Amino acid sequence: MKQIALSRLPELLESLAARGSLYCPLDDGTGASRFARWEPGREPVLTGNPRLGPKDLFFPQVEDLMRFRVSGKELEILEAQVRQEPFVVFGVRACDCRALEILDRVFLAEPEDSFYRDRREHGAVVSLACQEPEETCFCGTFGIDAGNPAGDVSAWQWEDTLYFRANTEKGAALLAELPLEEGGETAVEQAQGAARAIQDRLPLRSLTTEGFGRPEAMLELFHRPEWDRLSESCLGCGACTFVCPTCQCYDIKEFTGKEEVCRYRCWDSCMYSDFTLMSAGQPRPTQKERFRQRFLHKLQYFPVNQDGVFGCVGCGRCLQQCPIHMNIVKVMKTLGGAPHES
């Protein structure tokens, strides 16, 4: 275990930034925070959950895949993949660490996504345990301990000190280069206990995954009549999918310039009416079908095919951002989750 006084945080950040680009939660000017590149003089936001997780740093919202250059009858294919430089992501919460593990299951399965793999290999994740989990958090439902986050390095803030523990060889190598001192086991236990105590008092603490993730429940859940009522107010805006740290759907498009064609991918949303649209038609023509697809993927299809790992991490962002307050918690309560306890 390593430690450093919180008053020396600028020194720590400068040391991290010297080993590559440093990203951490920064104030975005709207009263919220999001992961952005740190520069000297900027103070990271160490409280609350960032509006967006660090997914964009490993799976960008827009990313060039390749370029084609046309000259007469000649066609030249230009590689678009940029070789990554080392970078560090500091302040990742436990829910977002689990989200990266979920993305790994998708993008690092055969055939591996070389773009994603390159970023994961070059990026080091320094997590930060929650001090005050928000009321919309329900990560405990999925077995996530807000007081013991994963990552290459785990960090805790207790009183006026930051504490660090290496979890991987990459994390150990990173800590060895930082201006840290030994010690802190007792303080970390206190920080973990405080976070867990708050987690156990959250409004959604009793929400369970009961009734989901079982192969034999597939058809029964699919045909539940409650989908009509649950989906009737959905606007199909896609806000829930774009703030979700585990959504991995994307579209591939091409932009044609005067002499070059750029093929790129960009995030897509299963809530959009043109998602999965093909020349033969739309297999999910109604919002009800698209709504059902999103939530069954998180709660049923993914765990059935991924060793019981659910596609939701309980970060609560969709609860905060949905304009009509329809979210995965309401779906779980209606179709199987335990009721709210005050």
Q: Are residues 227 and 176 in the same domain?
A: no
The 3-state DSSP class for residue 71 equals strand
Final residue of a structural domain among 164, 199, 234: 199
Local confidence band at 77 (pLDDT 50, 70, 90 cut-offs): confident
Q: What is the pLDDT of residues 16-61, one digit of tens each?
A: 999 889 999 999 999 899 999 999 999 999 998 999 999 999 999 9
Q: Return the exposure string of 318-337: e unless at least 16 CB atoms fall within 10 Å of the residue's CB, then b.
A: bbbbbeeebbbbebbbebbb
Q: Answer for the pair 60, 121: CB distance below 8 angstroms, yes or no.
A: no
Query: Is residue 258 included in any domain, yes or no?
Result: no
Q: Which one-letter DSSP state was computed for residue 283?
A: S
pLDDT at site 285: 86
Clarify whether residues 117 and 8 are in a common domain. Answer: yes
Cα-to-chain-centroid distance, residue 326 = 20
Does residue 95 fall inside a structural domain?
yes
pLDDT at 79 over 80: no
Q: Which two tokens stand for residue 46?
A: 């160490």
Shared-domain flag, residues 87 and 220: no
In a domain, 327, yes or no: yes
Q: Do residue 39 and residue 146 come from a single domain?
A: yes
- Does residue 341 fall inside a structural domain? no
Q: Please indicate, yes or no, if residue 204 is contained in any of the structural domains.
A: no
Average pLDDT of the chain to the nearest whole number = 92
Q: Are residues 153 and 179 in the same domain?
A: yes
Q: What is the pLDDT of residue 190?
A: 95
pLDDT band at 341 (very low <50, low <70, confident <90, very high): very low
pLDDT at 5: 96
Chain position carrying tokens 């009183």? 159
Tokens 């030249």 locate to: 76
In a domain, 257, yes or no: no
Q: Are residues 284 and 323 in the same domain?
A: yes
The reply to whether 45 and 184 lie within a common domain is yes
Report how many domains make up the chain: 2
> In this structure, which amino acid lies at residue 250?
Y
In this structure, the answer to whether residues 281 and 175 fall within a common structural domain is no
Which has more pLDDT, 277 or 323? 323
Query: Is 158 found in the same domain as 27?
Result: yes
This prediction has a pTM of 0.92
Q: Is 73 contained in some domain?
A: no
Angle at 311 between CA 310 and CA 315, to 5 degrees: 100
pLDDT at 81: 66
Tell whether 72 is covered by a domain.
no
H/E run at residue 199? helix 185-199
* 291 and 318 housed in the same domain: yes
* Residue 302 to residues 55, 213, 252, 291, 312, Cα–Cα distance (Å): 18, 8, 23, 16, 9
Q: Are 187 and 281 members of one domain?
A: no
At 170 the pLDDT is 96
Domain encompassing residue 219:
215-249+269-335
The answer on 225 and 155 residing in a single domain is no
